[in-house]
Every structure is written in structure tokens, then in C-alpha cells.
């Protein structure tokens, strides 16, 4: 799961589909359909000519176009829309401008505006088959199958060898459960381009739905051979293996899908079922725990997105990420809290603890210093003590442990380490005192004697 969790924010923001019944893997319409994918929509078409005005390239319009692309890729959609709208005002005759703005509107859920801009792009370039296919894909994603088919058919009239349009036409048939027609259209796409992974995956999935398991598996294996990072195709392989009662192979396929898309609960639900059927109940239980953790993460992410200015929502999410050992994402969330409230000592302590877990005690010390300036707490002293211990600064570690009223084996070890250092310096008296203190703490922890009284109430060791 490492290094992927922050993507869950993007997934939720864009409205990714939900999970399926984990008790019996159920496949939906393949997710990786023709495109353009959301990422592709924010890239200029390779064949597009430079923007021109009065027969000359207009550098201002080009700069605005580039600015809009960069802003959209960075998630600054309002800036992107403003820039591309300015470009359209200067040159309303270039279809790329309308297409890009339509893509951005689609990303942020302004579907009426998106549809209008796709139509304006087509009006500007009526003979462009790609634009028809793009609008058809958009309409299909909105459930407008009849209108989508009209666009795909027009695209194919303009370019009968347009494999992507045949693939998308097949997806409409697949959604209607007209499997024979779907296979025919996917066949056309694969005949045009025998390395078209999406069409192969979709044909394989359709044959799976038709009960043609060997043929389905042949298509799906070819898909992952062409594109090893295709999570949906790996999942579909797993579904075929489940039908064939080849549960170990299904586990492998679902594991591949989960490794490629770690925040997608569906792959884990499918793997858990395969593990159960293979008699691997302990591993299935671990997947169940991970599924619960991911579902909670989705809830917390949704809350944080709905209240981005409320620091407590990011704190809750950061804490949950720490529980899942997603340290990089947790640091980002703690940093967001500190952007909202720079003196939040809980966020500073939380981030310091994560720095420690990541093996960066110096940064942990820095955050604890800030936290202690804001609000002196036992937690900040304790965490900073651990950081000093990792840095072999045992004097400072012991001072902070004392300030935190802390009493555990790490404290005893700090005294032992300082005892060794003092003995090496020739200070045997103080070394013996440290060793005696360390032994006293260890004995007390083992229930063999009472600890040396410090005269202060002991606080629980902070987690």
C-alpha cells in the first residue's frame, strides 16, 4: 500500500466506482476503456497544429493553452478554466481549446458545460473523428448510450479504421448485455490493432460473461503480456480462474491487481474470497482487516474533502494513515493541519513521531522543539527523547524522558548507553550510577523491585 494512499484523494474527488460483493467476485464493465483516459485528456493531441491567428502562430494563445494544461494537471481547475477561456476569446477557431476546457469541466463535474464545449469543438472541426469519439465516450460515461452510439458511428464513418471507436461501440453493447454484438465490435478493434490492450481485455471479459473461459483467458493473458500494469485485466484473469476453481492462480492474479492499485477495495475483496476457497483463512483475515482500514480511509478522505479548512478532519485522517503505516501520506496530512494552524502541537507531535518511524530523528527533534514552544507537553518531551536516543545524544534523551515522567525499557537503555560512554571516558563513578539506575528500572519493570521514586506522578507512555 505504500506511497499510493494520497491518490485516494484524487480517486474520491473524481468519483471512482465503488466495490462489489466480496462474498462472490462480481465483475463490472471493465474500467480501462478506450480513452481518452482522464490523464490523456489533459495532454495536447500529438497531431494538433500550433494555434494560429491571421495565419501566424499566436504566442499569447499558446502560452494560455500551456498555462491551462499545467494548472489542470496540478488540480488548480479554476485557474485552468480562466486561462483557456481567455485563449478562446483570442482565438475561438481552434478545437483544442474547447476540448481542453471540456475535459476540465468533466473532471470537476460540470457536465453540462463539458458537453457544450465538446459540441463546440466538433462544430469547429466537424470532420475530426477523434472528437466524435471523445464526445461519445463522455456521453457513454453519463449513461447516454443512444447519443454515444451516434457519435461512435459518425467517427467510424469518418474513419472506418478507428480502433478506439470500435472498442467503445462494443462497450455500449456490453453494457446492454448484447455480448455477441460486443464481441463483434471488439473483434474489429483487435483486427485493426492486434496490440490494443483495452479491446483485448474487453473482449476477454465479454467471453468470460458468455462462459467461454479458455477463450477469455487467452485474451486476458495477452492483455497483461502487452501491458503488465493493467490492474483490471489482472482482476479479470482472477475471475476466470475462480470460475475454473483454480484458486491459487486466482490469488496470484488478484494480488497483481491489488499491487498495482492498492487503494481499490474490490481487488482485495476478490482475493479474500479466493484465499478462503483455497483454505488460507489467516491470509483472508488479513485482507479483511485491510479492507476495513481502506473503507475507513475512504470515509475520512471524503470528510476531509468536504471540510478542507477544518484541521480536525486532516488530523483524524493522518492518525489513521499512521495506523496503516502510510507514513508519507500521514506527513502530508499533518503538514496540511499545520498550514491551517501552525501552532497545533498535536500535529507537530504526530509528524515528529512519523519522522522517527521513517528514520529521520533530526526532523523529529525540530518538530518537537516547535511543539514545546507552542505548548509544553509530556508527549513532545517523550518523542524528542526518543529522537535524541536515536541520535546517540543520551544526556538530552534522559533529560527529556525525565521531563516526560517516562518509565520504560528505552529509558533504562538510555542510562546503560550513557553508562558505557562515561566508562569509556574514565568516569567510573557516574558510569556506575547510571548502570545502577538502569538496572533499577529494568528490575521494576520485571516486577522484581520498586522503581526509584522521582517525586512526580508518572504519565503513561504516549503511543
Half-sphere exposure of 269 (CA within 13 A, CB side): 17
Residue pointed to by grid coordinates 463539458:
114
Asked if 182 and 174 count as a contact pair (C-beta separation under 8 A), the reply is yes
Measured distance CA(255)–CA(292) in Å, rounded: 17
Specify whether the backbone of 15 is left (phi greater than 0), alpha (psi in -120 to 50) or beta.
left
d(CA 319, CA 331): 10
Contacts of 288 (CB under 8 A, 6+ apart): 272
**For residue 395, what are the β-bridge partners?**
none
Q: In sequence order, which residues have a C-beta less than 8 Å from that of residue 82 and are 6 or more positions away?
A: none
Q: Whose CA is closest to 139, among 125, 155, 128, 124? A: 155
- In whole angstroms, what is the distance from residue 189 CA to residue 223 CA? 14
pLDDT value at residue 428: 93
Cell of 188: 474489429
Q: What is the pTM of this model?
A: 0.73
What gap in Å lies between CA 418 and CA 430, rounded to an integer? Answer: 9
Query: What φ, ψ does residue 267 adopt, rounded to 5°?
Result: -65, -40
pLDDT at 48: 40
- The number of C-alpha atoms within 13 Å of 413 and in the hemisphere containing its C-beta is 9
Name residue, grid cell 512519523: 354
Burial state string for 87-122 with b = 16 or more CB within 10 A and e = fewer than 16: bbeebeebbbbbbbbbbbbbbbebeebbbebbebbb
Domains, the chain, in order of start with CATH, read 307-445 (1.25.40.10)
The CA radius of gyration of the chain, in Å to the nearest whole number, is: 30
- Which H helix or E strand runs over 53? strand 52-53
For 57, which DSSP code?
Answer: E
Q: By CB neighbour count within 10 A (0-12 exposed, 13-18 middle, 19+ buried), where does 34 fall?
A: buried
How far CA 380 is from CA of 343, 354, 364, 462, in Å, comes to 13, 13, 10, 9
CA 33 to each of CA 29, 120, 230, 342: distance values in angstroms, whole numbers, following the listed order: 9, 24, 11, 44
Residue 259 confidence (pLDDT): 94
Exposure string of 131-142, with b = 16+ CB inside 10 Å and e = fewer, is bbbbbbbbbbee
φ, ψ of residue 396 in degrees (nearest 5): -65, -40
Cell numbers for 264, please give them.
Answer: 481499490
8 Å CB contact between 274 and 254: yes
Dihedral sign of CA atoms 397, 402, 405, 408 in order? positive
Interacting residues of 454 by C-beta distance below 8 A, sequence separation 6+: 402, 405
**What is the SS3 assignment for 342?**
coil
Nearest to 431 by CA among 447, 445, 446, 420: 420
pLDDT at 325: 92
* pLDDT tens over the chain, length 463 residues: 333 333 343 333 322 323 333 333 333 333 322 333 323 333 333 334 444 444 446 888 889 999 988 888 888 889 989 998 998 898 898 889 999 999 999 988 999 999 999 999 999 999 999 999 999 999 999 999 999 999 999 999 999 999 999 999 999 999 999 999 999 999 999 999 999 999 999 999 999 999 999 999 999 999 999 999 999 999 999 999 999 999 999 999 999 999 999 889 999 999 999 999 999 999 999 999 999 999 999 999 999 988 899 999 999 999 999 999 999 999 999 999 999 999 999 999 999 999 999 999 999 999 999 999 989 999 999 999 999 999 999 999 999 999 999 989 999 999 999 999 999 999 999 999 999 999 999 999 888 654 443 333 344 444 3
DSSP state of 85: H
Distance CA 221, CA 237 (A): 7
Query: What pLDDT is attached to residue 6?
Result: 34
The pLDDT score that the predictor gives to residue 3 is 36
Residues 30, 237 contacting (CB under 8 angstroms):
no
Amino acid at each position: 500500500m505504500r506511497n499510493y494512499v494520497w491518490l485516494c484523494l484524487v480517486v474520491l474527488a473524481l468519483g471512482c466506482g465503488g466495490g462489489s460483493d466480496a462474498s462472490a467476485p462480481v465483475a463490472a464493465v471493465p474500467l480501462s476503456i478506450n480513452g481518452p483516459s482522464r490523464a490523456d485528456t489533459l495532454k495536447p493531441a500529438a497531431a494538433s497544429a500550433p494555434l494560429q491567428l491571421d495565419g501566424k502562430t499566436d504566442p499569447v494563445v499558446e502560452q494560455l493553452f500551456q498555462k491551462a494544461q499545467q494548472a489542470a494537471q496540478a488540480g488548480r481547475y479554476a485557474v485552468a478554466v480562466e486561462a483557456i477561456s481567455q485563449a478562446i476569446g483570442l482565438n475561438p477557431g481552434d478545437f483544442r481549446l474547447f476540448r481542453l476546457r471540456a475535459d476540465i469541466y468533466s473532471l470537476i463535474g460540470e457536465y453540462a458545460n463539458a458537453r457544450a464545449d465538446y459540441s463546440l469543438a466538433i462544430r469547429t472541426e466537424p470532420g475530426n473523428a477523434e472528437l466524435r469519439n471523445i464526445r461519445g465516450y463522455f456521453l457513454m460515461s453519463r449513461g447516454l448510450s443512444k447519443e454515444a452510439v451516434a457519435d461512435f458511428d459518425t467517427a467510424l464513418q469518418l474513419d472506418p479504421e478507428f480502433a478506439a471507436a470500435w472498442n467503445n461501440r462494443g462497450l455500449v453493447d456490453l453494457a446492454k448485455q448484447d455480448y455477441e454484438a460486443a464481441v463483434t465490435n471488439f473483434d474489429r478493434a483487435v483486427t485493426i490493432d492486434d496490440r490494443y490492450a483495452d479491446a483485448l481485455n474487453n473482449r476477454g471479459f465479454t467471453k468470460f460473461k458468455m462462459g467461454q473461459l479458455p477463450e477469455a483467458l487467452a485474451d486476458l493473458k495477452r492483455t497483461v503480456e502487452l501491458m503488465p500494469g493493467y490492474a483490471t485485466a489482472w482482476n479479470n484473469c482472477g475471475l476466470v480462474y475462480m470460475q475454473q476453481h483454480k484458486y491459487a492462480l486466482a490469488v496470484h492474479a488478484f494480488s497483481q491487481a491489488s499491487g498495482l492499485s492498492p487503494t481499490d477495495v474490490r481487488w482485495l475483496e476478490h482475493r479474500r474470497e479466493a484465499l478462503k476457497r483455497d483454505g488460507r483463512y489467516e491470509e483472508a483475515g488479513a485482507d479483511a482487516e485491510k479492507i476495513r482500514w481502506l473503507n475507513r480511509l475512504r470515509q475520512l478522505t471524503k470528510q476531509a474533502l468536504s471540510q478542507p479548512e477544518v484541521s480536525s478532519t486532516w488530523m483524524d485522517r493522518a492518525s489513521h494513515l499512521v495506523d496503516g503505516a502510510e507514513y508519507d501520506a500521514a506527513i502530508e496530512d499533518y503538514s496540511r493541519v499545520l498550514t491551517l494552524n501552525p501552532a497545533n502541537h498535536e500535529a507537530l507531535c504526530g509528524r515528529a513521531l512519523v519522522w522517527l518511524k521513517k528514520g529521520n530523528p533530526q526532523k523529529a527533534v525540530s518538530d518537537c522543539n516547535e511543539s514545546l514552544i507552542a505548548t509544553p507537553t509530556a508527549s513532545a518531551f517523550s518523542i524528542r527523547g526518543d529522537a535524541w536516543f536515536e541520535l546517540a545524544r543520551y544526556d538530552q534523551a534522559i533529560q527529556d524522558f525525565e521531563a516526560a515522567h517516562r518509565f520504560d525499557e528505552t529509558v533504562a537503555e538510555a542510562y546503560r548507553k550513557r553508562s558505557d560512554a562515561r566508562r569509556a571516558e574514565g568516569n567510573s563513578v557516574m558510569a556506575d550510577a547510571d548502570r545502577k539506575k538502569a538496572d533499577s528500572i529494568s528490575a521494576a519493570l520485571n516486577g522484581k523491585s520498586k522503581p526509584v521514586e522521582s517525586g512526580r506522578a508518572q504519565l503513561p507512555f504516549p503511543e
